[in-house]
Each structure stands twice: as structure tokens, then as C-alpha cells.
Amino acid sequence: MRWYWALRQRWHSFWFEPVEPVNLGVCRLLFFGAFFLLYLPLDVTLWAGVSDVFWMPVWLFRRFHLPVLSAPMLGMFQGFWKVALGLSCLGLFTRTATSASFLFGVYLLGLPHNFGKTHHFDAIVVFVLGIMALARCGDSWSVDRLIAVARRGRGSSAVRPVPSGEYAWPVRLVWALMALIFLGAGVSKLRHSGFDWIVSDNLAIMLLQHVYQPVAQADPLVSWSFAVARARWLCQLLAGATIVLEVGYPLALISRRARWVIVPGAFLMQVGIRLLMGPTFHQFLICNLFWVPWDGVGRWLVCRFRGRQPCAVFFDGACGLCQGTVSVIRSLDLMQRVDCYDARHQWPVIESKFPCLNQEACLEEMHVITPDGKCVTGFYAYRELAWVLPLGWVALPLLYLPGVSLVGRWVYTFVASRRHRGGCPLPLRSGGTIVTPL
């Protein structure tokens, strides 16, 4: 029975291996962000005007008696859905947002399937939305976590999730889902056509069919189909590679070496179909991001940028707002490019390393010394930090728009001038005394 216990341990380790929440958090951000952009132009209100003659409800709609809503209701539903996708990407109200993304997505993506045409490319989206709704995907790379860090401090166990199987099973379940889809496609080809699907002119005929009589939602992007169809051996080679990749896809679940070949191979296969035939696989291509080891990518980036001069941030260590801000900065400092100094309690160290700074000025507003030695304060300090914090790169175009610096300076001054009302000590006065408001 030793083999049984070894197999059981292997099975449990596959699904519930304790891992950091980084992978799941990055997958949530990229998955929902990509589908937010993909479905942003989607308009399902036109289905409200389709005649009931074409209404052939699928099982889900028939079982739960889901009707076709009016155009205004469909417009409201798709608006809520897109907002939920955006909030899920940001990780704001993550549990509620991911649940809403799933529930609205089931109805809106399933609605077109009730009119005689089944789209195989969006079913995987519904399943992954359901997985993410059940997962703890907001524990990393989310606004919810940054808010928790700012409120409770970086050292709190409540905001520093320990490695857990809760962060492994959602990613592995997406792997298994993709493996079953590809396996089903390969088995179906062999079941209905056998090896003739490989050795016959089947692929060449399909290539020419999609050129002369497009049946997909998009035309081929290149005109190479004629050249490929004329090379019989190349068509057979591509057909054989397709069967091997689809039937062998489950091997990627258990073998890292197979994973490095099969997953990129299937990705390139779908890209090739889009180029030569026209059918789009945006949904499948996006779901491949779950295969990327994002924690390993992060470690590579840290090693890549470790030798570079970091930014130096100076803050008031006795101010709760400043402490929360610095905790957020440290959480976002994935490449270890920021050194934080407490200007109230570490001033002797600061004075020896940065003699050009003034303690009272550092306590009055945040100072940042960039890697090239430039000293910036206030709003401009945050803008410089955006260059070295990976998530800050997203905000960089916004921070340099005309008028943003003017508004940013006003907001910073407004908040900084009122932080002492919450019990934070006032800056040092003459004589070195610290004044604390009553």
C-alpha cells in the first residue's frame, strides 16, 4: 500500500502545495484586466430585439427559467459586469467584485448561446470566473491588501498571508480545465476521423476553405495559407503536432519539462490558427497567463535590478499616516529599489549619509532622493517613486498629463496640512522639541 500513500501525497501536493499568494494575485490582476479590455466594447443589448422564433435555450437558461431581458436591463447588467471586472482587476472589494463578475458573466456570456450558435471560446471564461470568485485572490497585488497594510502596518500577520494551499488550488484548477479542453479536442479528432485527420489532405482543405469561404468571426491575418496547403508534408506535420499537443496536454500537469514544451506549443498553435485561418482564441490565450510562474519572474527582476542605486525616502516616523504610506511603498517595492529612512528617529544616520537634508523640512513633507542624486518633495516625490515601483508604471502616463501636477500639489498640501489633527506630532521647532497636538 506504499504506492497508494505516495500517490495520495502527490495528489494532495499538486492541489494544495503551500505557496505564496503572489502568483494568484498577479493572475487575478492580469486576467480581469485583460478581459475588462476585451469585453469593454461588448454590447449585448441587441439580443433583446431578436425574435422569439430563434429562442432555443441551453440547459442553464431552461433549468432556471432565465429570460431575455429588455435592452435597458441588459445595458444595466453589462455596465455592472464591466465595473465588476475592473474592480476585480484592481482588487478592490475583491470578494464581492469577483462574485459579481461570475454571476453577471454567466448570464451575459451565455445569452448568445440560446439563439442557435454555441461559441466554444468563451465557456472557459465562465469557469475561470467561477474559480476566481471562490479563491482568495485578493490577498496579494490588490488595493484591498494595500489598504490593510496602510491601516494595520506591515508587520501585522493579518496583512502578511503565509504560504498556503489556498493560493495553489485555483491556479492548478485552471491548468486542469485547460488540459481537459485540449484533451477533449484531440480525442474528438481521433474519434471521428482517426489518423486520417493527420495523413489525409484534411488540414490543407481547411486552410483553403477559410480563405475562399470564411466561416470564422475574423479573416486570416496573412496569405500564407496557399503556400502551406501546397506543401502536403507540412500540412501533415502540423496536423500531427496538433494531435500530439492536444492529447498530450495533460502531461503538463505532472511534468515541468513537458510543461515548457506543451503549453508554449499550444499557445503558438492557436496563434497560427488565427494567422492562417481566422478563428480567434483571445480567451484561451489570456488564460495561459496562469501557467507563468510570476513569483519566479519577480525573483529574476529583483536579481536583475539589485545592483542599481535605490531611491531614498525620508518620512516622519511618528506620523501614523506617514507610516501607513511607507508600509504601502514597501509592499509595492518588489524589486527592492527603495530605502526608507525615519527622519525623526534615524536622523543621525541620515545626516551622516545625506548632509544636504534638513530634518525639519523632511518632517514637514516627504523627501525622495533619486538614484541620480536629485532631491524632490511632496507630489513630485510620489511621481519619482512611480518610476521604481512596478505598479506605479501603470500610473506614470496619468501623472505626467497637463494639470495633474497642479492638482497633485494641492491634494498633497491639503492632506499634509491636516495630518497633525489626527494626533501626529508636529514638525520639530526651534530648540529640537516635539510638539504634539492635544
The per-residue pLDDT of the chain, averaged, comes to: 85
Split at pLDDT 50, 70, 90, the class of 215 is low
Backbone φ, ψ for residue 314 (5° rounding): -120, 125
Does one domain contain both 21 and 160? yes
Strand order in the sheet with 367-369: 338-342, 311-315, 367-369, 375-377
Q: Rounded CA gap, 138 and 22, in Å?
A: 10
Model pLDDT, residue 188: 93
23 & 81 share domain: yes
User: Strand pairing of 338-342 and 311-315?
Assistant: parallel
Comparing 20 with 394, the larger pLDDT belongs to 20
Residues 25 and 109 in one domain: yes
Name the pTM for this structure: 0.80
- Residue 320 predicted with pLDDT over 90: no
In a domain, 58, yes or no: yes
Q: Tell me the pLDDT tens digit for each residue of 413-438.
A: 888 776 655 556 555 544 443 443 33
> pLDDT tens across 111-132, in order?
999 988 777 788 899 999 999 9
Spell out the residues 6+ positions from residue 346 whose beta carbon is closer than 8 angstroms to its own. 317
* In the predicted structure, residue 134 carries a pLDDT above the cut 90: yes
Asked if 58 and 104 sit in the same domain, the reply is: yes
C-alpha separations of 414 from 135, 328, 375, 377, 409 in Å: 39, 20, 22, 15, 8
Cα gap 408→430, rounded to integer Å: 30
- At residue 50, φ and ψ (nearest 5 deg) are -75, 140
Instruction: Assign 311 to helix, strand or coil.
Output: strand
With cell 496619468, the residue in question is 398
Closest CA to 252 of 169, 185, 177: 177
Same domain? For 333 and 409 the reply is yes
Using the predicted structure, report yes or no on whether residue 306 has a pLDDT greater than 70. no
Most distant pair of Cα atoms in the chain: their distance: 92
Count of domains for the chain: 3
The answer to whether 368 and 385 are in contact (CB under 8 A) is: yes
> Percentage of residues in the chain with pLDDT exceeding 90?
38
State the pLDDT at residue 433: 39
- What three-state secondary structure class fits 338? strand
Spell out the long-range contacts of 5-14 with Cβ–Cβ below 8 A and sequence spacing 24 or more: 14/172, 14/253, 14/254
CA separation for the pair 92, 96 (Å, rounded): 9
Of the three residues 271, 293, 315, the one that is the final residue of a domain is 293
Residue that wins the pLDDT comparison between 101 and 10: 101
* Residue 153 banded pLDDT, cuts 50, 70, 90: low
Cβ neighbour number for residue 199 with a 10 Å cutoff: 13
Residue range 3-31: mean pLDDT, rounded: 89
Name residues whose C-beta falls within 8 Å of residue 418's C-beta, 6 or more positions apart in sequence.
none
150 shares its domain with 42? yes
- Residue 401 maps to a domain: yes
**257 and 353 fall within a common domain:** no
Residue 433 in domain:
no
C-alpha cell at 379: 507630489
Distant-in-sequence, close-in-space partners of 61: CB < 8 Å, separation ≥ 6: 110, 114
pLDDT at 219 over 80: no
List the alpha helices (DSSP H) in 42-70: 59-63
Q: Please say which residue of 165, 192, 224 terminates a domain.
A: 165
Residue labelled with grid coordinates 436591463: 73
pLDDT band at 155 (very low <50, low <70, confident <90, very high): very low
- Answer yes or no: is 436 within a domain: no
Residues 158 and 215 in one domain: no
The answer to whether the beta carbons of residues 85 and 101 sit under 8 Å apart is yes
Average pLDDT for 160-169: 87
Range of the structural domain that residue 194 is part of: 168-293
Whether residue 52 is found in the same domain as residue 106: yes
Highest mean pLDDT pick, 136-150, 176-190, 324-338 = 176-190
Instruction: With H, G, I as helix, E, B as strand and everything else as coil, classify residue 207.
Output: helix
**431 inside domain:** no
Q: Are residues 327 and 220 in the same domain?
A: no
- The pLDDT value recorded for residue 293 is 92
Q: Let me know whether 193 and 326 are in one domain.
A: no
Nine cell digits for residue 156: 501585522
Give the residue with greater pLDDT, 40 vs 210.
40
In a shared domain, residues 131 and 273: no
Exposure of 17 by Cβ count < 10 A (0-12 exposed, 13-18 middle, 19+ buried)?
A: middle
Q: What secondary structure letter does DSSP report for 395?
A: H
Indicate the pLDDT class of residue 29, thresholds 50, 70 and 90: very high
Please indicate, yes or no, if residue 138 is contained in any of the structural domains.
yes
Asked whether residue 331 is assigned to any structural domain, the reply reads: yes
